[in-house]
Amino acid sequence: MLKRILVTGGAGFLGSHLCERLVEMGHDVICLDNFFTSQKANVMHLLDRPNFELIRHDITLPIWLEVDEIYNLACPAAPGHYQYNPIKTMKTSLMGSINVLGMAKRCRAKVLQASTSEVYGDPEVHPQPESYRGAVNPIGQRACYDEGKRAAEALFMDYHRMNGVPVRIVRIFNTYGPRMHPYDGRVVSNFIRQALAGEDITIYGDGSQTRSFCYRDDMVEGIIRMMNVADNFTGPVNLGNPEEFTIRELAELVVELTGSRSRLISKPLPPDDPTRRRPDIALAKSKLGWQPTMPLREGLERTIAWFRSIDISHYRPPTPRY
């Protein structure tokens, strides 16, 4: 069945790929974005499609639309972006959620919240299952994002329990791929940008901290499957790649794949930076029949090819320190 679908944050890295998939599926897609951290270029190729519409709007302000489904992806998701304006980040998570949930209640629409692995903080349990409640510093530099997303999950479940709104919650682990903002502060984009420029590659700490990297196509597939899951399963459900790599291993692989002569240099670890991060995806496997398929090496090759194809001068660093 074809639906009218709203994607907030639809011009962002993941949002633009989600819009692309939904348009190809034939749905009537409304992309809403305020372009705080995203690029209009990400969705330019969709503007002439009859089933795609772009609206410039800040989701912290109310908007009235008639839709069947809402994917709520609106929020700066990278440290370089969400720490640039932490109050704006928190407003987007809280007020944005209230606005999309109000719309979903009025329209009787299904609504999916793009939450994050950051709700687990610096985890004391490894890998992280959905039952783990996290170890988050509520007054730290990352709290605007971590606590904003945790509060948004609470709002989604309260609207579900109190008003019967059909909600879905996914917790997204590190994701990468073409259309990443080169200056978003994420480790993959930092390393590729520095390697292609022949600059020193900055590793924070000794590089022994770990992450799990999921390619964008796998992530979009998981998000769509969660929205369309048959029963009343609300989640939350982890979406991410369970393969674990150290930051140093990632840096060395990027240097190899780019053919760069960049050196690895170390800087102090930022406050509250998680030491380990790896999803337990047993629930996604059982409920959604989903697991990632893209190997890191191949995904990085595709991402590096995209970075080589862009004019990096068209992208603005979000903060002076980048």
Which positions are annotated as active-site residues? 145
Closest among 70, 93, 84 to 15, alpha carbons compared: 70
What CA–CA distance (Å, rounded) separates 285 from 291?
A: 6
What CA–CA distance (Å, rounded) separates 283 from 270?
A: 32
Rg (C-alpha) for the chain, rounded Å, is 19
Element containing residue 266 per DSSP (H, E): strand 264-267
- The DSSP annotation for 63-100 comes to -----SEEEE--S--SHHHHTTSHHHHHHHHHHHHHHH
Rounded (5°) CA angle 252-258-259: 85
What CA–CA distance (Å, rounded) separates 17 from 43?
A: 9
In terms of DSSP H, where are the helices of the chain?
13-24, 79-82, 86-107, 143-163, 187-196, 216-227, 247-258, 282-288, 296-309
